[in-house]
Amino acid sequence: MVFGEGNPETDLMLIGEAPGEQEDLQGRTFVGKAGQLLTKFLNLFGVAREEVYITNIVKCRPPGNRNPEIDEIRTCYPYLEEQIKLIKPKVILCLGAFSARTILNLPEKTPISGIRGTVQNVNNIKVIPTYHPAYLLRNRKGEPEFQKDLELALRLAGFIG
């Protein structure tokens, strides 16, 4: 199980999809290639990953990195709800369509391109959907938009002015 890590007092929570191979091996979130890219972007704004809280919708690695299934999401959701309740972030940055659809309760096929960069309100938490860092590894063109969304999240959470 890969639970999540970071500063429990933080105002910014990052929520990805599910652990990949490296995460499964190390028991830590976002430590593979996508995680290294995420860390690089945080560092670009002078923020260390230890200053935010990073977790996933699904806490165990889906075999072969397939998409998580609905029963897996349902099983894991109470843990995520409890994490959100304990950490009480001001802002949640949803990494990828899967995370955004789950947190915002959107239909299954909702494309991330149509909702990224918007600020939604869920139980008085500002929720911002953006691309998944693994998507950026394949589509470098998305990086400026990702950077913009991360900047907005960091600003709304008070990390940058």
d(CA 37, CA 29): 13
CA angle 156, 41, 92 (to 5 degrees): 35
d(CA 15, CA 12): 10
Q: How far is the CB of 154 from ligand URA (least distance, A)?
A: 19
Q: HSE, CB side, 13 Å, CA atoms: give it for residue 97.
A: 11
**Is the CB of 113 or the CB of 160 nearer to ligand URA?**
113
Cβ within 8 Å of residue 143, ≥6 positions away = 136
Of 14, 17, 136, 157, the residue at the interface with ligand URA (CB under 6 A) is 17
Of 11, 23, 126, 159, the residue at the interface with ligand URA (CB under 6 A) is 23
Binding mask 137-156 for ligand URA (x = CB under 6 A): --------------------
Residue 89 three-state SS? coil
Of 6, 12, 14, 35, the residue at the interface with ligand URA (CB under 6 A) is 35
Q: How many residues does the chain have?
A: 161
- Should residue 131 be labelled a site residue for ligand URA when binding is judged by CB under 6 A? no
**Is the CB of 7 or the CB of 155 nearer to ligand URA?**
7
Separation in Å, CA 39 to CA 30, 46, 63, 110, 115: 9, 10, 25, 27, 23
Give how many residues touch ligand URA by CB under 6 A: 13
Q: How far is the CB of 21 from ligand URA (least distance, A)?
A: 9
**Is the CB of 6 or the CB of 32 nearer to ligand URA?**
32
For residue 95, the cross-strand partners are 130
- Should residue 129 be labelled a site residue for ligand URA when binding is judged by CB under 6 A? no
Q: How far is the CB of 56 from ligand URA (least distance, A)?
A: 5
